[in-house]
Structures are given as structure tokens and as C-alpha cells.
Amino acid sequence: MSDIDAVIAQLPKAELHIHIEGSLEPELLFALAKRNNVRLAYPDVETLRRAYAFTNLQDFLDLYYQGMSVLLKEADFYDLAMAYFRKAASQTVRYVEFFFDPQGHTARGVAFETVLAGLTRAQADAEAQLGLHSRMIMCFLRHLDEADAERTLDQALKHKEKIIGVGLDSSEVGHPPSKFKRVFRRARDEGFLLVAHAGEEGPPEYVWEAIDVLGVDRIDHGNRSLEDPVLVKRLAKDGLALTVCPLSNLRLCVVRDMKQHPLRRLMDAGLNVTINSDDPAYFGGYMNENFAAVAAALTLSAGELTAIARNGFAASFMPDVEKQHVLVPLN
């Protein structure tokens, strides 16, 4: 292990951009398919893993939604989340805000309550057994219409105390944040915090809309903000955090080479960046691998990596008292 990898391995980390369904490893996917008698389009783990060669976001999403077909019962969501929490804890991740995609499940006839029950039971066990605290963010699928998102928000209102915020994910281009203006306004009025994927494949205008039309508290990805210097100034002035996902960007061909990853340019512009795994089972790495990949490609120092880890806790939706406590080892 290199010196910098040793630094990363012991660094306390907060993960703010992880789709829990994107942590479904092929081995668990096949085990759940067997348990639930679900027929898969791939004969075995190796063949499926070989299909994880994406050329863009949609390519990945097509497989991601197929993968979800094995998640049917409360125990499936529990097993999914628990496997992720174990992995995260083993990488000194101390705090997690994870996304889930209820519409990806309710559209298949799985009850919203089934999803939530499995995930919240795993959260409680992760807290008790691993000392890993987490909060959850419900994402709307942006390729669906706003009315579908409105119905999903209605379902979430009964469970407000379990869900800290709402987000926006799935196919970005052609589905700007403004398409969800009303449902985000209502979510805000109901007390949810707001995030949105923007500037992953979509243009800087989508980041502007996420900020000015939706009023988000954080931007997921945001890479393409660099194309608009006025936007960069605005993000810097507001200190709005970006949840950057290096291995995801590489695997989805958002960047050609890790050496060209925009993380360092975002840092140099004074932006509040964090490092996250996005869909670790599909993109070849969890938190430590994401930190290590950019550290090596962009020669980030131990001090810079520590500052990024600190940003993760600071940009989280933890109450301030909790934040002060967890930030102590990073100060």
C-alpha cells in the first residue's frame, strides 16, 4: 500500500452521493434472483460483470434498472443496504447520506413501505453493530413526469421523519431541473432538504436551474459548471457543495482519463468539493478507491485529501452539534 493509500485508509469519511441500488454487487444480485425466482438476462456473475462497460449514463442506467428487478421483499432491501454499510464501515466511512429510487420499485409493484422498512431496519442495525450513522434521500426519476414525482412525494409525507431530503436522478439530458419546479417547491415547504444531479452530462444551465429554480442545498456532480465562469463564481460565493464521483465519471465516459478529471480545477476555483462513489458496484470502487484514483492521477497531498474528507462532513445534513463532534479528528 502506498503512503497516500495508507492515509486514505484511515481517514474518517462521509459519503453523500451513493445510490443504494447502485451498491448491489453481482454476487448479491444473483443470490437475490435465486431467492426470489427472478430470471436474469445474464447466465452468471462473470458475464454480468463483463457487461459493465458503459459508454454513457443511459448505457449504465439500462443495466441499473434491470439489476433492481431482484429487489422485491423487505429483506432484499435490508440485505442490500447492510452489505453497503459493512463495506463503508470497513473503509472508515463514519457517516452516510444515501439515495434511493422509490419509483424504480413502486413501478414494479413493490410497495413504498416495503422499500422503506428494509432500508430503515438496515440503518438501525448499522448504527448499533457498526457505529455507522446514516440518513436517506429520496430521489425522483427525472425521465418520468412531474406528476409521478408528485405522487411519490405524497407517499413520502407519511414517513417524513425517516427521509431527510429529496433529490433528482436518472437520465439528465433532456430533463432539466425546471421540469420538477413544483414538486421541489412542495418538498421544500414540507421540510425536506433538496439536492439534484446537475452538470454530470447536462450543461451548466442545468446547474443554474438546480440552484435558482429548485433552490438546492447541494449539487450532485456539477462537473460541467467549469464551462461557465459566472456559475463557478456563484458556486464559490455560496459555498454550495458538489458531490463529485471520480470513478463514476471515468466509467460513464464523462472524463476520458482520470488525469483529466476536473476535481483539481474545481478545487483551484475555490469550490466546495467532496468525493463519493455514486454506484460503487457498477463503477469499480467504494470510497477508498475513489479517493485513491484521484489522489494518484491528480497528485493530491495528504493535506488536500483531509480537507476534502472534512468537506464531506461539513456539507452533510447533520445538525451542527453532530458536525462539530465528527469534525474533531479532521481539524
19 binding ligand ADE? (CB under 6 A) = yes
Is the CB of 70 or the CB of 318 nearer to ligand ADE?
70
Contact segment (CB under 5 A) with Zn ion among 66-74, 143-151, 250-258, 276-284 equals 276-284
- DSSP characters for 112-170? HHHHHHHHHHHHHHHHHHH--EEEEEEEEETTS-HHHHHHHHHHHGGGGGGEEEEEEES
Cα 123 from Cα 133, distance rounded (Å): 7
22 binding ligand ADE? (CB under 6 A) = yes
Smallest separation, CB 139 to ligand ADE (Å): 7
Cα 73 from Cα 288, distance rounded (Å): 31
Smallest separation, CB 306 to Zn ion (Å): 24
Exposure class string for 308-320: b at 16+ Cβ within 10 A, else e: bbbbbbbbbbbee
What are the beta bridge partners of residue 99?
19, 137
- Spot the catalytic one: 74, 97, 172, 200: 200
Do the Cβ atoms of 266 and 273 come closer than 8 Å? Answer: yes
Residue 21 annotated to the active site = no
In 10 A of CB 127, how many CB atoms?
A: 13
User: CA nearest 249: which of 272, 210, 227, 220?
Assistant: 220
How many residues of this chain bind ligand ADE (CB under 6 A)? 11
Is the CB of 179 or the CB of 197 nearer to Zn ion?
197
278 binding ligand ADE? (CB under 6 A) = yes
21 binding Zn ion? (CB under 5 A) = no
Instruction: Rule CB under 5 A: choose which of 211, 278, 292, 297 binds Zn ion.
Output: 278
Residue 47 neighbours by CB under 8 Å, 6+ apart: none
248 binding ligand ADE? (CB under 6 A) = yes
57 binding ligand ADE? (CB under 6 A) = yes
Mask 152-171, x = binds ligand ADE (CB under 6 A)?
-----------------xx-
User: CA nearest 277: which of 245, 250, 254, 241?
Assistant: 245
Smallest separation, CB 125 to ligand ADE (Å): 24
Is the CB of 120 or the CB of 248 nearer to ligand ADE?
248
Contacts with Zn ion by CB under 5 A lie at 278
Contacts with ligand ADE by CB under 6 A lie at 19, 22, 57, 64, 169-170, 197, 200, 248, 278-279
Residues designated as active site: 200
